Amino acid sequence: MQLLILGGTIFLGRHLVEAALTRGHHVTLFNRGRHHPDIFPEVEKLRGDRDGDLTALEGRRWDAVIDTSGYLPRVVRASAELLSSNVDHYTFVSSISVYNDFSQPGITETAPVGALEDPAIEQVTGETYGPLKALCEQAVEDVLPGRVLTIRPGLIVGPHDPTDRFTYWPRRIARGGEVLAPGEPHALTQFIDVRDLAAWIVRLVEAEAAGTYNATGPAAPLTMEQLFHTCRATLNNNAWFEWVGEEFLLDSGVQPWTELPLWIPLGDGKSAGFNTVDCSKAIESGLTFRPLSETILRTYAWDTEVTTNQQPSAESRTTRPTTTLRPEREHELLTAWHHAAGHQGDQYPITPEQ
């Protein structure tokens, strides 16, 4: 195929390029050239700006386009309109955040999506991100009816993740010692390895698949306890877990999801469906998942390379700001938790350096 990728240099985009090249496709990237401009020297690069300068796309034709960088419906519509007569197939990467209600488990692709009181809003926040993505989906479908593949991933993890939303846990558990584990051990969690997601998307594009697919994993339910124990077995057996109650963490001002990634409080009953999204449609279409231990090991190896500046790229820890729990803060919380429970943690003494 002649494949156009809008973006293509950050996380999912770069893995899509790798997957497409592996399968023998010819790839063109369109972006501003601000992030890793020298990556993929064998790939054609077109420079421009989705918000106002699409000139480089004019007069060209591709078999398919994958849009990894669409957040505002106005901007996405402009790209779709320009490309509508120049591509046969359009893939839009959306998000499970489009759904309006996460209080019930087993959300399928037919569940209602969120809406904005003012559809003209263009400020992307935690509250507007999902509804704006839903409007982007609709914009592409309006322009290219029946030719659109919409992918709604959950949390994407793996090498080159610019956030610490998963990487925190392999890094922390590899450090060993007593680990603050949030909430309930049997709480479910969902995420997908970026390499599995990218390879599957490319296969769907090859098949000119259309429609909407939830895309997260794994195939079988995974608990936080299972994740942590797999991290320990993979990286460092000298780590143990202190499960700290949800109410204590919230009362202590700990921010779910950001300070302690993957942790979503369940006490309010509003989030039961966030980590139980139904991905059976994607699995039936060929989505597969590598072993969890492989995702953990490769993510940790990449993170270590970046942290020690051994990776020959523009990535570095200094360019990846983190909001996750600092070691000294974890130590404070564990000390307070042990004290509240009536002991000082003498069984498992820790230091902030651990």
pLDDT one-digit tens code per residue, 118-138: 989 999 999 999 999 999 999
Measured CA to CA, the distance from residue 81 to residue 139 in angstroms comes to 9
Q: Does residue 234 share a domain with residue 137?
A: no
For residues 76 and 11, state if they share a domain.
Answer: yes
Q: Give residue 303's pLDDT.
A: 94
Residue 173 has pLDDT above 80, yes or no: yes
Residues 21 and 102 in one domain: yes
Q: Average of pLDDT values for 136-153?
A: 98
Question: Does pLDDT of 311 surpass 60?
Answer: no
Number of domains, the chain: 2
CA-nearest of 233, 224, 222 to 181 is 224
Q: Other CB atoms closer than 10 Å to residue 267's CB: what's the count?
A: 10
Residues 179 and 327 in one domain: yes
Domain that holds residue 173: 168-189+221-271+291-340
**What is the residue whose two structure tokens read 């080159």?**
160
Length of the chain: 354
Query: pLDDT per residue over 25-45, tens digit each?
Result: 999 999 999 889 999 999 999
Percent of the chain with pLDDT over 90: 87
308 versus 48: the higher-pLDDT residue is: 48
Q: Are residues 45 and 91 in the same domain?
A: yes
Quick check: 300 pLDDT over 90? Answer: yes
Indicate if 117 and 182 belong to the same structural domain.
no
> In this model, does residue 235 exceed pLDDT 60?
yes
**Predicted TM-score of the model (pTM):** 0.93
Decide if pLDDT at 310 tops 60: no
Q: 184 and 332 share a domain?
A: yes
Rounded CA separation 20/197 (Å): 12
Specify whether 181 is located in the same domain as 117: no
The answer, yes or no, to whether residue 212 has pLDDT greater than 70, is yes
Same domain, 305 and 174: yes
How confident is the model over 84-128, as pLDDT tens digits?
999 999 999 999 999 999 999 999 999 999 999 998 999 999 999
Find the mean pLDDT for residues 333-340: 95
Do 179 and 108 belong together in one domain?
no
Confidence at residue 353, expressed as pLDDT on a 0 to 100 scale: 36
> How large is the angle between the packed helices 73-83 and 129-143, nearest 10 degrees?
20
Please give the pLDDT value at position 343. 55
Report the share of the chain in percent with pLDDT over 70: 93
Average of per-residue pLDDT values in the chain: 93
Cβ–Cβ < 8 Å for 257, 164: no
pLDDT higher than threshold 50 for residue 354:
no
Q: Using CA atoms, how far apart are residues 234 and 222, in angstroms rounded to an integer?
A: 16
pLDDT band, residue 268 (cuts 50/70/90): confident
Higher model confidence: residue 342 or residue 272? 272
Clarify whether residues 230 and 132 are in a common domain: no
Is residue 111 included in any domain, yes or no?
yes
The 10s digit of each residue's pLDDT in 71-83 is: 999 999 999 999 9
Q: How far is residue 292 from each of residues 91, 157, 175, 193, 213, measured CA to CA in Å?
A: 27, 11, 19, 9, 22
Report how far residue 61's alpha carbon sits from residue 82's, in angstroms, rounded to the nearest whole number. 11
Boundary residue ending a domain (125, 153, 181): 153
Per DSSP, the residues of 46-80 read EE-BTTTB-GGGTT---SEEEE-----HHHHHHHH
Q: What is the amino acid identity at position 5?
A: I
Identify the band that residue 314 occupies on the pLDDT scale cut at 50, 70 and 90. Answer: very low
pLDDT tens digit sequence for 246-259: 999 999 999 999 99
